[in-house]
Structure 1
Amino acid sequence: MTDTAHAAASSSGSWDPVVLFSKPESERGGTPLLVLFHGYLANEEDLMGLADHLPEDFTVASVRAPQPVGPGFSWFPLPSEPAYSVEAVVQSVGAVASWLDGVRGLHSSVSLLGFSQGMAVATSLLRHRPGDFACVVGLSGYCVPAEGHGFFQDEQVSIAKTPFFWGRDQEDPVISAEMIEFTHAWLTTHTRLTKILYPDMFHSISQRELAHVREFLALTVLGRR
């Protein structure tokens, strides 16, 4: 069953996200929450099929990005676009953090999963709220350079050492080598990293990768092997 809801607006009143939930509201209380962030030009339906491959204990929530772009949505301009700025990332991710503040109290824990640009959202949330998340999963994506912005609490993140699963293909044609190099260095020094490469997956998610994500979530959040 999938529920669709418009979540409460952020504290600034500027964002009222569309969110898909894997469980009806009456069944969410006390469950661990896993929040999904889709990639560039996609929407909240793009990753919702992953819920069938993940532990049933979780309430899965897939959030639509705020900015309409082409056939889908974007969290912020891509780093390669002229309109990109760290401030644009901060505004978008800050709105997500405000939304999370309104829903996290219902759940036993909160974990994050982001694909492609959605991984940049997930890692930025972790960097903004160190210690708030049970674990983070990043698939075929990247981290953004902080450029000294105070929104990113990287020193505290390195202390918390949140468990992080990073899956990608070495031949991913979408994420630049420069972004991968930065992401690898950041994750290695700031998180408790599990990194797995999946050949011939390119810029996508494979069944083998999903099996590993399921195991990671079960062990890290649920304490099950």
Structure 2
Amino acid sequence: MTESAHGTAVPSALSWDPVVLWSKPESERAGTPLLVLFHGYMANEEDLMGLTDHLPSEFTVVSVRAPLAVGQGFSWFPLSREDDYSVERVVESVSAVSAWLDTVREAHSSVSILGFSQGMAVATSLLRHRPADFACVVGLSGFAVPSEGHSFFRDDDAAAAPARFFWGRDQEDQVITPEMIGFTHAWLTQNTRLTKILYPNMLHSINLQELSHVREFLTMTVLNPR
């Protein structure tokens, strides 16, 4: 563990050993495409595993627990409105995730990532750090973080070879601020091959229509690419 400027323990890329849930036993994972799930704020690794039944069965799905205990759940980094938020805290957490991914990716034919809410910030940050590493990215009711000029975010590289990105949300979602939505929309439009779909009456959640679109996106992008 290392300490932030505020003295709070944060995960080190060298020390973090995440709690994860797998959709397949280890004997059935080799050579399959991997889909990594990142849950939202104050949730845990169990929160998104119910999505697996709605996703292509060819994928091995792994859901990762965030490193910081918050309330009854976990957080990837402090919220931007909290005093101990900083881009460095985001970088610390996402660096740890990236290092862990390096320990599992070689067993799979490709790696795709999916994040909900704050988990979408993790997914977009991973893409911005290592833009060539992922077959595609799915972001649900979430956001991307401003880089504030941090070298961790290689946005020029992402724009040079834009990844396929699915972004689903409801315009009436009151959890993600308009400022963050505006930044996220601008970044995704400029730096990815974006598929954006709005879902009325979904609010800050995931619905079955969105899951059917995610399934189609994963199938067309990873399993049957053109």
TM-score by length of 1: 0.94
In the alignment, which residue of structure 2 is the partner of 1:31?
32
- The amino acid of 1:131's aligned partner reads A
Secondary structure of 1:221 counterpart:
helix
Query: In 2, Cα distance between the equivalents of 1:45 and 1:62?
Result: 7
1:82 aligns with 2:83: yes
User: C-alpha offsets along residues 13-69 of structure 1, whole Å, 9 cap, x if unaligned?
Assistant: 2x1100000000000000000000000000000000000000000000000000000
Secondary structure of 1:123 counterpart:
helix
Give 5+ residue unaligned stretches, structure 2.
1-10
Query: In 2, Cα distance between the equivalents of 1:129 and 1:49?
Result: 28
Deviation at 1:224, TM superposition (A): 6.7
Q: Which runs of 4+ in 1 moved over 2 A?
A: none
In the alignment, which residue of structure 2 is the partner of 1:54?
55
Q: Kindly, what percent of the aligned residue pairs are identical?
A: 74
Q: Determine if contact 1:10/1:16 at 8 Å carries over to the other structure.
A: no
Q: Determine if contact 2:39/2:118 at 8 Å carries over to the other structure.
A: yes
Q: Determine if contact 2:44/2:66 at 8 Å carries over to the other structure.
A: yes
Query: In 1, Cα distance between the equivalents of 2:12 and 2:30?
Result: 21
Alignment of 1:91-110 (within 5 A): 91-110=92-111
Give 5+ residue unaligned stretches, structure 1.
1-8
Instruction: Count the aligned residue pairs.
Output: 216
Q: Determine if contact 1:142/1:183 at 8 Å carries over to the other structure.
A: yes
In the alignment, which residue of structure 1 is the partner of 2:14?
12
Deviation at 1:81, TM superposition (A): 1.2
User: C-alpha offsets along residues 119-139 of structure 1, whole Å, 9 cap, x if unaligned?
Assistant: 000000000001100000000
TM-score by length of 2: 0.94
Deviation at 1:79, TM superposition (A): 1.1
Q: Determine if contact 1:36/1:63 at 8 Å carries over to the other structure.
A: yes
Query: In 1, Cα distance between the equivalents of 2:80 and 2:46?
Result: 24
Query: In 1, Cα distance between the equivalents of 2:225 and 2:219?
Result: 5
In the alignment, which residue of structure 1 is the partner of 2:197?
196
Deviation at 1:11, TM superposition (A): 5.1
- The amino acid of 2:146's aligned partner reads P
- The amino acid of 2:127's aligned partner reads L
Q: Determine if contact 2:116/2:141 at 8 Å carries over to the other structure.
A: yes
Secondary structure of 1:112 counterpart:
strand
- The amino acid of 2:194's aligned partner reads L
In the alignment, which residue of structure 2 is the partner of 1:135?
136
What's the RMSD between the two structures over aligned residues?
Answer: 1.2
Query: In 1, Cα distance between the equivalents of 2:114 and 2:13?
Result: 23
Q: Determine if contact 2:13/2:92 at 8 Å carries over to the other structure.
A: no
